[in-house]
Structure 1
């Protein structure tokens, strides 16, 4: 009788073990860190302002390039997210003619709220701060161009699709307030509003 009881107990344990292992896999505890890599399209507002006492209209073209995100989940719903990338190069037009170019780095730090973090489809929104540094400013006529760095608010809305516990594909759209003062040959020339909408698609991994 003791042997039969022992055999029955062992057999029951073998049957329960795979079920327990599956449950543990389904409830996997994930790291709070997430990284994303993708492509972003920066679309400045259609009219970026006027310089030289509003006599010269300035427009800045669209530009796409690689981007990345680093996210940290404070709770299942709340996360801090940093958007970064390589410097984006934009062409500058004045009164419809090509006048120069500039590069800028527009990192955005956001606080995000994820509505359904455990679902397959995971919508989220974000509110953040944008810092933009302009580099390699050039004018075609050889004049010295300087664009002042900019701080401003940023808004975000996005959607992730979970492929499994770790991998996601996603898309989001952001609006950033970017205003810069223009100096040409050391003299103030006016203000330019870039104020881009940023469209991104990405692949993400949650550790």
Structure 2
């Protein structure tokens, strides 16, 4: 083989390698969010109710924040479009009226959402979601008597992003708004509606199957 031919072959080989390298992104998101795939996530989520929680028993109500373990499952009905279920371990919230602590409650807020993951063709993938939240309250406690908080249905919206770290794993940060209102009663008498309407912030690891 002549020197010139060797140079041509070498140049062709280098060019092929460069072309193949440039053609494939560092992490291909097309398969990560493909139709038929499942994503399971585990992390932590903070539920922070809005500052003005309405008037209950003639006084301004205040609901405290709490952090718990979060679990998510998402099934992709089409590329980049998934149906997600959010679950968590129970949240424990302090309740104050007129600035004085009067009790506490626990709640679970399962939320079903439809998410759209923007096809960025890279490691960073933002998404938006819209769905419905169901919140159930239990273990209400107060020294004033028997406190009951009704379950709640409401809309939920989310905004977040994934940072893909492997072919099957990603780190996720997301923020959600939940419309949560509950009618309260004390010793069987209605005392008002608590408007919780929290903003939640979550961090989790997502694994694709």
1:116 shift after superposition: 1.7
Instruction: Select 2:51's aligned residue among 46, 52, 57.
Output: 46
Equivalence for 2:12: none
Check the 8 A contact 2:184/2:193 in 1, yes or no.
Answer: yes
Please state how far the C-alpha of 1:62 moved relative to its aligned partner: 0.9
Instruction: Tell me, in whole angstroms, the C-alpha distance in 2 between the residues paired with 1:117 and 1:165.
Output: 15
Return the TM-score normalized by structure 1: 0.83
* Aligned pairs for 1:50-129 within 5 A: 50-52=55-57, 55-116=58-119, 118-129=121-132
TM-score, normalized by length of structure 2? Answer: 0.82
Equivalent residue number for residue 198 of structure 2: 196
- 114-123 or 193-202: bigger deviation: 114-123
Q: Residue 11 of structure 2 aligns with which residue?
A: none
For structure 1, the 5+ residue unaligned runs are 1-18
Distance 1:112 1:123 in 2: 10
In structure 2, list runs of 5 or more residues that go unmatched.
1-19
TM-superposed deviation, 1:56: 1.1
Deviation of 1:51 after TM superposition, in Å, equals 1.6
In the alignment, is residue 134 of structure 1 matched against residue 120 of structure 2? no
| Stretches (4+) displaced over 2 A | 26-31
Task: Verify the 8 A CA contact 1:172 1:200 in the aligned structure 2.
Answer: yes
RMSD over aligned CA atoms reads 1.8
Superposition deviation, residue 164 in structure 1:
1.6
For residues 195 and 31 of structure 2, the distance between their equivalents in structure 1, rounded to whole angstroms, comes to: 46
Task: Give the CA deviation at 1:28.
Answer: 6.6
